[in-house]
Amino acid sequence: EIIRDGVLELKAAGKPVVVSMGSLAASGGYWIASPGDEIWASPTTVTGSIGIFAFFPTFERAAEHWGINVDGVGTTALSSIYAAGVGPLEENVADIFQQSVEAGYRDFLGVVAEGRKLDAAYVDSVGQGRVWIGEQAVGLKLVDNLGDIDEAVAAAARRANLEEYDRVEIRETVSPFEMWFGTAAARAMALAGVERDDARETTSVVRKVIGAVEKKARFFNEFNDPGAIYARCVTCGG
């Protein structure tokens, strides 16, 4: 929502916003994209997944295995929420999360309906967490055009009445851990007398392994919302 607010501020400043989806822009990605003046996607882009879910892990079996128990006296029906995680999720607490999920889904429908100028009931009919590819999304009015980022940039230039323009790409930077590990691995190989070509190949493999592990760790680390409510495509990773 913070990113979407930034997009809305950009539009309020009178700047055209053209979205290029790339290979994946589902759930939270579509939430961010929906206010765009124009949305471009490739025919095989994975998008949609308009839906909300709650994620609240509990560890009662692990706690039982290690002999950890929670007990106490509560003054309200929700007192047990503080034991959630160690003990099973109480039905009344689960009901609260379910209501939050349903409210969040209604908000999601409203965001898409407003951004795409569609009726909320129609958005619901193509939503409910379902995933679409770009070619389908055009027919469903979730995407405007099929094309790559170059075509999206050209469309943005047309909207801004620009004939000459420069394009700046902002890419994700390498994490400090990846940087340190890559440098340390290269030095270790140099000390061990590994040839440069072999070192480059080995470092590439190491980076891939680190990247895969870090990606999984980052995925679970992102589940830190105080309300435990998320807009993510679990099946496609968006």
pTM: 0.67
Segment 34-58 shows an average pLDDT of 90
Sign of the dihedral defined by the CA atoms of residues 126, 127, 128, 130, in that order: positive
- Label residue 161 left, alpha or beta by phi (over 0 means left) and psi (-120 to 50 means alpha): left
Selection from 148, 138, 140, 131 nearest residue 237 by Cα:
131
pLDDT for 171 equals: 78
Helix (H, G, I), strand (E, B) or coil at 237: coil
pLDDT for 208 equals: 65
Cβ atoms 55, 228 nearer than 8 A: yes
Look at the chain and count its residues: 238
* Residue 238: pLDDT band with limits 50, 70, 90: low
Say yes or no to pLDDT of 199 above 50.
no
Query: Half-sphere exposure of residue 91, counting CA atoms within 13 Å on the CB side?
Result: 0
For the ranges 89-93, 108-112, 137-141, 177-181, which has the lowest average pLDDT? 177-181
